[in-house]
Structure 1
């Protein structure tokens, strides 16, 4: 299943967007192979400017980090996001840290520029929109939504 990087991206005009394209899908529908054998491209943009583009990333792994962060953020809106992959040595691949001015800054060893900072609402919405769109893929490919997929993977590890 190959999707245009913009196919699952939310409406243009937003401050932050995640776009993805599925490159390879696990033949397994359960267990850790769903994470290790499913890859894709991931693009993060701020105000239409590309912050970074990963040509190949463990996209389910990234989505699970986003899902876990979203759950934690619901309990603690100051919770930082830090994504390091089992497939890459460089860290962080993507991190969001709340600054004293109340804006979030993004960090990545792959960043093409330093972002000016985004609001709580914008970051939360961008992650929520990504997860909602990614869930369309997981339901069709694996028969699981994000919550069920996360639970299934935690049981199998």
Structure 2
């Protein structure tokens, strides 16, 4: 049964994101927003809660994560996946010692498996389409936040951060 705390995005930047009915979903809540609008502080000073579900079952919940950093990893993976649909996703944070916080690996049967040191169960595997859609939906929702908070979409935010590092 879906967790009622996770619901679709509202104009409130602290609201959880939730798309009902998908095999895989990313939900997030912004906890802290950087006072800086450019540079690395956008990544290091913006945090949030992140939840990943499979068929409405919680795979994991991070109570506090560098949410912009995670979104940038998703954005980079989505770009790479567009060029190479077998490209693995591996997220390790500068803020955490445990690795991976989240990884997706394509198996020989053509399904993607999720891995996390924080996983609450073993994921049976999802299709290319489900994984791609879940990441795309997350980035679309997250981009609404970045445009409101920083004045940048994900592509511009990624470019800005690469220039400042």
TM range (shorter): over 0.9
Normalised to the residue count of structure 2, the TM-score between the two structures is 0.91
Residue 91 to residue 2, structure 1, CA distance change in 2 (3 Å): farther
Query: Aligned-pair RMSD on alpha carbons?
Result: 2.1
* Counterpart Cα distance in 2 of 1:37 and 1:67: 19
Q: What are the equivalent positions in structure 2 for 1:92-107 lying under 5 Å apart?
A: 92-107=100-115
CA deviation digits over 1:21-56, x for unaligned, max 9? 000000000000000000000000000000000000
C-alpha displacement at 1:5, in angstroms? 10
Residue 151 to residue 80, structure 1, CA distance change in 2 (3 Å): same
C-alpha displacement at 1:11, in angstroms? 2.9
* Counterpart Cα distance in 1 of 2:44 and 2:68: 8
C-alpha displacement at 1:9, in angstroms? 3.2
User: Is 2:13–2:145's contact at 8 Å kept on the other side of the alignment?
Assistant: no
Normalised to the residue count of structure 1, the TM-score between the two structures is 0.95
* Counterpart Cα distance in 2 of 1:110 and 1:5: 25
Residue 6 to residue 32, structure 1, CA distance change in 2 (3 Å): closer
C-alpha displacement at 1:72, in angstroms? 0.1
User: Is 2:17–2:29's contact at 8 Å kept on the other side of the alignment?
Assistant: no
Deviates more, 1:56-65 or 1:3-12: 3-12
C-alpha displacement at 1:10, in angstroms? 4.7
State the match for 1:72 in structure 2.
80
Residue 144 to residue 136, structure 1, CA distance change in 2 (3 Å): same
* Counterpart Cα distance in 1 of 2:40 and 2:13: 25
Count residues with an aligned counterpart. Answer: 157
Runs of 4+ in 1 over 3 A off after TM superposition: 1-10
**Could you list the runs of 5+ residues in structure 1 that have no partner in the other structure?**
none
Structure with the bigger RCO (C-alpha within 8 Å, sep 6+) is 1
* Counterpart Cα distance in 2 of 1:87 and 1:97: 23
**Could you list the runs of 5+ residues in structure 2 that have no partner in the other structure?**
1-8
* Counterpart Cα distance in 2 of 1:23 and 1:67: 21
